[in-house]
């Protein structure tokens, strides 16, 4: 059943910063957020390892909010459709890892997921210009993928701005997501550059009051996008 899509600005807490052995309770803490961001890492595309399809299937069954799956894996052409079949609302793979990104996006959409594509800080945004329409969301990484708790990279903002302008020029309603180092201090900068969906791990799970942290991030993003 298609889910009702939340309005921008969307806050997607990353469960990478959660306590993995208390996942059910950790998911319950983010019930007021928009999507639960699930970082799948294979210790190959990135030098870190998290969880695979079986765990994500249990997270999907347990989460009070829809899943936003971020695949930091080699060979997403083979593995990504399985995450859509589990019922993830969105499945994002890395452009750098995909052999046939357009064919893969079409398969994900065909299964009923939102198709997302992510680019690392050094990957040029221009590589997506001609295929923007094939995706529902673009993830501009604001850190090198692999680990939570890194510093936000402002040097990725010109690329985000240019992609947002290009999407507007083409009349596309694709979402723009940022991931890495998003906090009370950095979210306005990303919102001003045109991001509408914000992944935050340590800023949410590191807070004493997780629900208040989500609300604060959303308020800061909204204020910054209204300023633009």
Q: Does 179 bind Zn ion (CB under 5 A)?
A: yes
Kind and range of the H or E element at 40? strand 36-41
Catalytic residue among 34, 42, 179, 196: 179
Catalytic residue among 39, 68, 136, 196: 39
- Residue of the chain from 32, 74, 123, 150 that contacts ligand DX5 (CB under 6 A): 150
Strand pairing of 36-41 and 10-13? unpaired
* Nearest Cα residue to 55 out of 46, 43, 64, 67: 67
* Secondary structure of residue 153 in the 3-state scheme: coil
Q: Does 94 bind Zn ion (CB under 5 A)?
A: no
Residues in 54-93 at the binding interface with ligand DX5, rule: CB under 6 A: 70
Query: Quick one: 70 or 94, whose CB is closer to Zn ion?
Result: 70
- Residue of the chain from 39, 134, 136, 196 that contacts Zn ion (CB under 5 A): 39
What are the tokens at 73? 């894996």
What are the tokens at 1? 């059943």
Which residues on neighbouring strands pair with residue 200, listed in sequence order? 13
User: Which of the 8 DSSP states describes residue 75?
Assistant: -
Residues in the annotated binding site for substrate: 14, 70, 146-149, 179-181, 201-202
Instruction: Tell me if residue 19 is catalytic.
Output: no
How would you classify residue 223: left for phi > 0, otherwise alpha for psi between -120 and 50, otherwise beta? alpha
Contact between 152 and 101 under an 8 Å Cβ cutoff? The reply is: no
Kind and range of the H or E element at 91? strand 90-94
Instruction: Tell me if residue 39 is catalytic.
Output: yes
DSSP H helical segments within 112-209, as ranges? 157-169, 187-192, 202-205
Q: Does 10 bind Zn ion (CB under 5 A)?
A: no
Q: Taking the complex as a whole, how short is the minimal distance between the CB of residue 66 and ligand DX5, in angstroms?
A: 16
Q: Taking the complex as a whole, how short is the minimal distance between the CB of residue 29 and ligand DX5, in angstroms?
A: 15
Q: Taking the complex as a whole, how short is the minimal distance between the CB of residue 48 and ligand DX5, in angstroms?
A: 8
Residues in 187-206 at the binding interface with ligand DX5, rule: CB under 6 A: 199-203
Q: Taking the complex as a whole, how short is the minimal distance between the CB of residue 183 and ligand DX5, in angstroms?
A: 7
Q: Does 42 bind Zn ion (CB under 5 A)?
A: no
Q: Which residues of the chain form contacts with Zn ion (CB under 5 A)?
A: 39, 70, 179
Q: Which residues of the chain form contacts with ligand DX5 (CB under 6 A)?
A: 14, 16-17, 37, 39, 70, 143, 145-150, 179-182, 199-203
């Amino acid at each position: 059943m298609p889910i009702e899509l939340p309005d921008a600005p969307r806050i997607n807490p990353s469960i990478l910063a959660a306590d993995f052995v208390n996942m059910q309770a950790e998911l319950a803490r983010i019930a007021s957020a928009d999507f639960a961001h699930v970082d799948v890492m294979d210790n190959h595309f990135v030098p870190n390892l998290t969880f695979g399809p079986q765990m994500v299937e249990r997270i999907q069954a347990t989460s009070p909010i829809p899943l936003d799956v971020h695949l930091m894996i080699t060979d997403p052409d083979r593995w990504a459709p399985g995450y859509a079949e589990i019922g993830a609302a969105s499945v994002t793979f890395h452009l750098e890892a995909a052999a046939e990104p357009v064919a893969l996006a079409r398969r994900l959409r065909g299964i009923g997921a939102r198709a997302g594509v992510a680019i690392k800080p050094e990957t040029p945004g221009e590589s997506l210009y001609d295929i923007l329409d094939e995706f529902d969301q673009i993830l501009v990484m604001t850190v090198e993928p692999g680990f939570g708790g890194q510093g936000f990279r402002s040097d990725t903002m010109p690329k985000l701005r240019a992609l947002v302008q290009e999407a507007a020029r083409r009349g596309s309603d694709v979402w723009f997501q940022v991931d890495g180092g998003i906090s009370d201090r950095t979210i306005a900068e990303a919102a001003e550059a045109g991001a509408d969906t914000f992944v935050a791990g340590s800023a949410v799970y590191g807070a004493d009051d997780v629900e208040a942290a989500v609300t604060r991030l959303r308020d800061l993003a909204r204020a910054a996008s209204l300023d633009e």
